[in-house]
Structure 1
Amino acid sequence: MLVQALIGFMGAITFAHIYRVPTKQLFYAGLVGALGWTICLITRELWGEIGGVFAAATAVAICSEMLARRRRQPVLVFLIPGVIPLVPGGKAYLTMLSFLQDDYGEALVLLVTTVLLAGAVAAGIIIASSIFRLYSRAKHVRR
């Protein structure tokens, strides 16, 4: 599990560097990626692949929102590198490969899985970000 977390950390840092995340924030972006990948691995056993990715994306978005406020950075500085380990790039590759090999049955199954995984990432981010936005507005209204 520790090796997998380290892989998530390194993947997130690599993409954070490519996207020119400020150097002082690279470590935190890596932590978000490691957290997301670890949560995905744990919850995938309980809720299946799509449920695990949804839970991990939600956790990444919540962590990114909190870090953005604490570190005074845009949310995307932590969010984009954090979800990179969750993106179903391997499934998308296998989908295209199956189509090219004329294995349409397998390709359609992989296509549906890929779309559902991408949708789970998007839904997790949207739900967590919406909750934070509602909380922030409610906090300002009370003042």
Structure 2
Amino acid sequence: MNQSAPASFVYDPPVDPYLQVLHRDEELLVVDKPSGLLSVPGKAAEHSDCLESRAQAAWPEARIVHRLDMDTSGVMVLAMNPAAHRHLGLQFERRKTRKSYIAEVWGLMSADEGEVDLPLICDWPNRPKQMVSFEHGKPALTRWQVLERRERTTRVRL
């Protein structure tokens, strides 16, 4: 089964600002990734523009430690040397890093807060989607809190 992007998909990454640096030192490069920009290059040549290549154009030693989905905006941390890359990678692997997301979901959520505690695994035929698997999934705990209820949607912190 062919899982390529729909024919109507055209990758048009934002270019202003081209790369917004929030912090840089000898160990870390912290940048603001806009929605619409890939974290790492896609397979197709036209998908080579990404946060990683933009950062490496200015700092060739910069290495991606984690990713955000193309449509997700947010802060990303890159390592500036091999020791920092190892250390940061272990923090993500051992789940020492806490992440917070703001999302707008369809519908009006009745509760003000809650949590989802289910084991997740990559849904390979439908990447990058995840699925619940009690047999093979990794523990995944998401706490959520309503920030605002709008006419047809709810804004939540995850």
Q: Normalising to structure 1: TM-score of the pair?
A: 0.32
Compare the two structures and name the one with the higher helix fraction: 1
Larger RCO, structures 1/2 (Cα 8 Å, 6+ apart): 1
Compare the two structures and name the one with the higher strand fraction: 2
Whichever of the two has the greater Rg, that structure is: 2
Q: Normalising to structure 2: TM-score of the pair?
A: 0.29
